[in-house]
Amino acid sequence: MKVLVDMPLFAPGLEALRRVPGVEVVQVEKPEEKKRLLPTALVQDCDVLFCTFPPENLGEMQQLKLIQISSAGYTQLLGLGLPEKNIRACNALGVFDVPIAEWNMAMMVNMARDMRTLLHHQDEKIWDRSARFQHEIRGSVVGIWGYGGIGRETARLAKAMGLTVHVLTRTPVGKREDTYCVPGTGDPDGVLPDRNFLLHEKESFLKGLDFLILAMPLTPENEGIVGEEELNSLPPGAFLLNPARGVLVKEQALIKALKDGAIKGAALDTHYYYPMPPGHPFWSMPNVILTPHISGSSASPNFLQRAYDILVQNVTRLQEGRSLLNELHPSKLVI
């Protein structure tokens, strides 16, 4: 089995891949995170492709059986005719569960203690020991909308810090199988939530929260899923955290809720514009923390290790005829 690696070098991962019996590893000399032509001689007899974006001459890869991409999002695979060509595809779901869950915990503590104001006080040399800077999050109720890998690792950390965990999902929470998870993290058996709400119970879910964390993917059905009605269903003292996708929340509804005090504050890592324009009101709102989509990214120190780990496991599983990790159903690969 010939594996073509069009990814940055990660020596331990390559070494582990080469140890898989019957595997030949070929590296692209100058890997790039973009779609471009690769030499025909390099691609034509490959069985597995490890990349972020498939090459423009994907059609020349007549022996290709599997594409393993390094991102959780997979729009770059849509419309390539992979199901018709019997090419299987897997994404990198799970590589960012840990850093994004840690961002969630950091933001809850920061929002509860109003660290944004405290840091401003430091810059202005203001000594203010008000009680509002001394809140703790233990005993709070955190609601996680969506319960994939990020939601499950957030739940694990939140339970360790003494929070009550509620989740809102389309179907009852259960075990996750054949999905990548960093060992020792997450909630693979689905046993951590104190309460599981289904979509028709959305209002009851929202009204009992101190923190609402969005942990769902962006789909056509989910765009704008949080609007004025949902924000007004939260208690006035609640905080919104969005490390998922900016447009899950209606922009003007969020601005209004923050200005009018419908919610207490928001921590936003994903946005409506890239970069956010200097004149956007979020920049100057004292109850908003903005981070530039860094809660989980390919610059994370563990990104390559985890991405290669998925690849090695899937090449092994493919060799042995077992189910693959993070495999995308063919129905997800058509436009």
Query: Quick one: tokens of 265?
Result: 């504050």
User: What is the predicted pLDDT for the residue at 335?
Assistant: 81
Name residue 48's beta-bridge partners. 3, 66
2-33: per-residue pLDDT in tens?
999 999 999 999 999 999 999 999 999 999 88
User: What is the predicted pLDDT for the residue at 151?
Assistant: 98
Hey, which bits of the chain come out as E strands?
Answer: 2-5, 24-27, 48-51, 66-69, 88-90, 141-145, 164-169, 195-198, 211-214, 239-242, 265-268, 288-290
Q: Which residue has the tokens 């030949």?
A: 24
- Which DSSP helix (H) or strand (E) runs through 256? helix 251-260
User: What is the predicted pLDDT for the residue at 147?
Assistant: 97
295-304: per-residue pLDDT in tens?
998 889 999 9
User: What is the predicted pLDDT for the residue at 276?
Assistant: 97
Low-confidence residues of the chain: pLDDT under 50: none
Peptide bond into 275 cis (omega under 30): yes
User: What is the predicted pLDDT for the residue at 262?
Assistant: 98
User: What is the predicted pLDDT for the residue at 303?
Assistant: 96
Give the pairing type, strands 211-214 and 239-242.
parallel
The Cα–Cα gap between 93 and 178 comes to 11
User: What is the predicted pLDDT for the residue at 217?
Assistant: 87
